[in-house]
Amino acid sequence: MKKIGIAILMVATAFVVIGCQTQPKKQSEMIQPALTNQQLINLYSQSLEMRWSTPKGYTGTSEYEPNGTGIVEWGKGDHAGQWRISGNTVCTQWEGVREGREKCFRLVEVAPGKYNYYDVNGIYEGDGVVIH
């Protein structure tokens, strides 16, 4: 009986310890500050090419020109479009992608030239690296 009591105590202790551990932040939560408006302007003020990937497994490249035009290339073809900076977000709108709807992203620099993208609600959308 004493062994059963000790076993129950050990299991209960394990549940308490597991329940009290701090869970790491999910990759889906923005935990670092996003680039500011001026940092985005500096980044996109010259021709820029980024290779990107998403949690859904999509990969491709996006080319941005200083005049607000660009091309996104991925497994479903190349699409022309436009981009703009709005506050602390970069908004893109590509023909044939997201039914032509604009979507805005916050960028967090995680290493020199490497960024994580988050939607305006702070949900992780993918990552990108500057290739030119």
Residue range 6-54, pLDDT digits in tens = 433 333 333 333 333 333 334 455 568 999 999 999 999 999 999 999 9
Question: What single letter denotes the amino acid at residue 80?
Answer: A
High-pLDDT (> 70) share of the chain, %: 77
- Euclidean distance between CA atoms 117 and 82, whole angstroms: 17
pTM: 0.74
Averaged pLDDT, 82-99: 94
Give exposure, 36-67, as e/b (b: 16+ Cβ within 10 Å).
eeeebeebbeeebbbebeeeeeeebbbbbeee
Length of the chain: 132
Instruction: State how far the alpha carbon of 89 is from the alpha carbons of 55, 57, 119, in Å.
Output: 20, 23, 9
Averaged pLDDT, 99-122: 94
